[in-house]
Each structure stands twice: as C-alpha cells, then as structure tokens.
Amino acid sequence: MTIAVVGGTGTLGRLVTSELRTRGLQVRVLSRSAPEHPIDLTTGDGLGPALKGCDVVVDASNNSSRRAAATLVAGSRRLLEAEQTAGVGHHVGVSVVGCEQVPVGYYKVKADQERAVERGPVPPGRTAGPPGRPAGPRKRSRGGSRRCGHGCCGWRTRPSAR
Ligand SMILES: NC(=O)c1ccc[n+]([C@@H]2O[C@H](COP(=O)([O-])OP(=O)(O)OC[C@H]3O[C@@H](n4cnc5c(N)ncnc54)[C@H](OP(=O)(O)O)[C@@H]3O)[C@@H](O)[C@H]2O)c1
C-alpha cells in the first residue's frame, strides 16, 4: 500500500509520515518543498504524477494566512479530483473540532474544507478533528467510533456522514 501525505513536510505531516513508515508502509511526501514529489495545491502542479499508484491520501496541508481558502478549500477540491483520476481509494482529512460552530476566519475555511471533502469524489469523503482524530471508515471499536479498515493507519475515527 502506498500512502501520499500531502503536507508531509509540516508539523503534523512529519509525524504522520514517521508513524506510517514505522509501520512498514510506503509513504510519499508531497508539498511545495518536497524534494521527490513537489506539488502545489493552489495550482494543481505536480499532483498527477505524485499521486500515480497511491492507494490512500492523508491531507495534512495547511495555510493559516488570509489566503487559506486557496490552499484548504480550492486546493482540497483540486486534490480530490486528482485523486479520483489517479484511482486513490481513500482520503483522510484533518480538521479542527467544532470549527463549524465558529464561522469566522480560519475556522470558517476549515468548515468549508470539511464540506468540500464530504462532497468530494473520493470515499469516505469526510474530515475529522484535530491532529490525532483523522477520518476513516469501516471497523467499529469502543465508544461507537471505528478504526480505519484500509490497513494503513488503523486510527480511531468518527463515523462517516455517508
Ligand atoms: N498545528 C495545530 O496545532 C493544529 C491544530 C488543529 C488542527 N490542525 C490541522 O492539522 C493540519 C496540518 O497543520 P500543521 O500545523 O501541521 O501545518 P503546517 O505545519 O503549517 O504544515 C503545512 C504543510 O502544508 C504544506 N503546504 C502549504 N501550502 C501548500 C500548497 N499550496 N501546496 C502543497 N502543500 C502546501 C507545507 O509544505 P510546503 O510549505 O513545502 O508546501 C507543509 O508541509 C491542518 O489541517 C490544520 O488545520 C493543526
């Protein structure tokens, strides 16, 4: 299984990359400054070749500037379309718990990003809470949450809306 970590050079992305590699999984680090798989979510540059052959995408990209939506919302749509073209089967998004209750600034952008993922073409098409609460479908575990059933992360998740 090959997993692309978008934003794999960032704070969360580095940790995710390290954890996945510890589990023996093939990981590609994608970001503007990634030496092997440079991509830009605001333009789509590099996405096609970088995603070719990937089974799962973890989106740990971020932008907290006033232009956040260009990366997180439009960038997510661009990323999901490229994933669909590449045949990626599972998209893991990272969000901020309760962002939909704070419809201003960065939190509004994060809520818009969640909706873009939920409505996107790649299953399960949803996002999750802060780092440590990424999304995924399938196996149930205690508390009504589930564990990702794709053999990649095994993270505890919230049930998908679809
Ligand atoms: N840090 C927190 O405390 C916290 C809390 C709650 C939720 N989160 C969520 O966790 C996720 C990751 O946050 P973080 O703090 O780890 O972010 P971060 O450290 O700022 O890292 C951002 C990553 O995104 C990449 N990136 C930025 N713009 C890009 C673009 N146009 N195209 C491609 N890649 C781009 C950066 O690499 P390049 O510069 O090389 O492109 C970098 O790898 C976000 O969804 C955030 O909302 C974080």
User: Is 161 contained in some domain?
Assistant: no
User: Is 144 contained in some domain?
Assistant: no
User: Is 14 contained in some domain?
Assistant: yes
User: Is 143 contained in some domain?
Assistant: no
Residue 72 CB neighbour total at 10 angstroms: 24
Residue whose CA is at the smallest distance from ligand 1 atom 44: 62
Grade residue 18 by pLDDT with cuts at 50, 70 and 90.
very high
Identify the pLDDT of residue 123: 73
- Asked whether the predicted pLDDT for residue 65 surpasses 80, the reply is yes
User: Is 142 contained in some domain?
Assistant: no
Q: Which atom of ligand 1 is nearest to the CA of 13?
A: 16
For the Cβ of 17 lying below 6 angstroms from any atom of ligand 1, the answer is no
Q: What is the pLDDT of residues 123-153, one digit of tens each?
A: 754 544 543 344 433 344 444 455 555 555 5
Identify the pLDDT of residue 51: 98
Residue whose CA is at the smallest distance from ligand 1 atom 15: 11
In the block, tokens 């919230």 appear at 158
Identify the pLDDT of residue 146: 56
User: Is 96 contained in some domain?
Assistant: yes
Segment 113-130 shows an average pLDDT of 75
Residue whose CA is at the smallest distance from ligand 1 atom 24: 61
Identify the pLDDT of residue 111: 95
Identify the pLDDT of residue 12: 96
Higher pLDDT, 51 or 97: 51
Percent of the chain whose predicted confidence (pLDDT) is above 70: 76
Domain count along the chain: 1
Going from the C-alpha of 59 to that of each of 84, 101, 140, 141, 143, the distances in angstroms are: 14, 22, 23, 24, 25
The domain of 56 spans 2-133
User: Is 145 contained in some domain?
Assistant: no
Q: CATH number of the domain that 97 lies in?
A: 3.40.50.720
Q: What is the pLDDT of residues 25-39, one digit of tens each?
A: 999 999 999 999 999
User: Is 139 contained in some domain?
Assistant: no
| CA distance linking residue 90 with residue 94, whole number of Å | 13
